[in-house]
Amino acid sequence: MKTLIRSFTAGVFLLLLGLGTSNAQEVTFSAGPAMSPPAGAANGGFAWGDVNGDGNLDVFIPSINIMLNSITAFTAASTMTANLSLNTNSVGGLFADFNGDGILDLFTTNGGTPSAGLFYNSAGVLVQATGTGDLASAGVTGEVFQGASAAPIDHSNYLSLVWPGTFTGIAGNNPVPPGGAMWLLKGGVSGFTNVGRGATSANLAIDTSLSFESWDVRFLDANNDGWQDLLMPSFRNGFSRIDTGTSGARKGCVLFMNDGTGKFILPTATSLGRSIYRVDSLVLSKVSVRDSITYASANPDTGIIVDDTVRHFSAIGEQWGDLNNDGIADLILNALGGNDNRDGNGKYVADVILYGKGDGTFT
């Protein structure tokens, strides 16, 4: 699907404005116009994008609502969305120009069946895409709440798609089927080619052995090399259990690095040009007591996102942006519970902010 991507999101779109210290100013917010979508929102998730070319950001609210923004009001685009199917629990959605006509199209996880979730924006009406290649036979998410992401992964100017694939509704209690990983489809002149779960050996572009329940995935350039990398956060049933029950959060976010050809690999000491910091194997360098809570921290890099240390974070959702104005992508990981993660001081928290170092690792 040939395009120049203009905006994309999986679940929630976060717009971060990077202002230098010389021109930083306080931003104030006020209530905008109320929205009254014709169909009830589907548990969560939305996407922003200018779908009618008037310069204003419109909003998609799953599963069938697009609200057109006139600054003073939001109006339902009922004609545009007439071909969308109502799915009570459809969450993920994104706007991007998939067919290269300069107009934003819509991709949605479509109630857990993303294979039928691509719609082209044709003269103001969303029409289900045809000739999509392997997308038409791609697998389900396994749950209805998963998000998706789109990006040009191989500099071909064709958008690729990715979404979590657990294949069975595991309801938080059961082990993820082996090889679950994610569906990864590379865009091209003949539609999409499966390069993830179930791909042929010639097409496989990612390690599918790292299998756990993920509710969102994200393309981002984590090491500033101009190639889109891929973050797969763990929500439940990850490979490192951190609770004592049969369910709940398990840590295991994985950041796959783009090797410069559109294939995704795990960073190593060789690819990074330095030793990988391993929290699990270090002797703790400091143990303290604060507020009657004993905690420990390992210096200097608590929480690097690489193969050996991703087990230290759990996230049901995540976002990225340059949070400290250094030109490097940073991460916000959002856990489900308040004891799912530890911050840089070793305290249990739900959400963590990780600053990027520019080489695909974070602290």
Question: CA torsion sign, 42 to 46 to 49 to 54?
Answer: positive
Both tokens of 126, joined, read: 């969303």
Under a CB-based contact definition with an 8 Å cutoff, are residues 240 and 329 in contact?
no
**Model-level pTM?**
0.80
If you average pLDDT over residues 340-352, what whole number do you get? Answer: 76
Q: Where are the domains of the chain?
A: 1-17+33-130, 131-354
What pLDDT digit, counting tens, does each position of 234-288 carry?
Answer: 766 554 444 434 444 455 677 888 999 999 987 777 776 766 654 433 333 444 4
| Residue 169, pLDDT above cutoff 90 | no
What pLDDT digit, counting tens, does each position of 95-109 carry?
Answer: 999 999 999 999 998
Phi, psi angle pair for 90, to nearest 5°:
-80, 125
**In the prediction, which pLDDT does 17 show?**
34
Question: CA torsion sign, 342 to 347 to 352 to 356?
Answer: negative
Output the CA angle 314-10-55, nearest 5 degrees.
Answer: 145
DSSP assignment of 261-317: SS-EE---HHHHTSPPP-TTTSPPSEEEEETTEEEEE-TTTTT--STTTGGG---SE
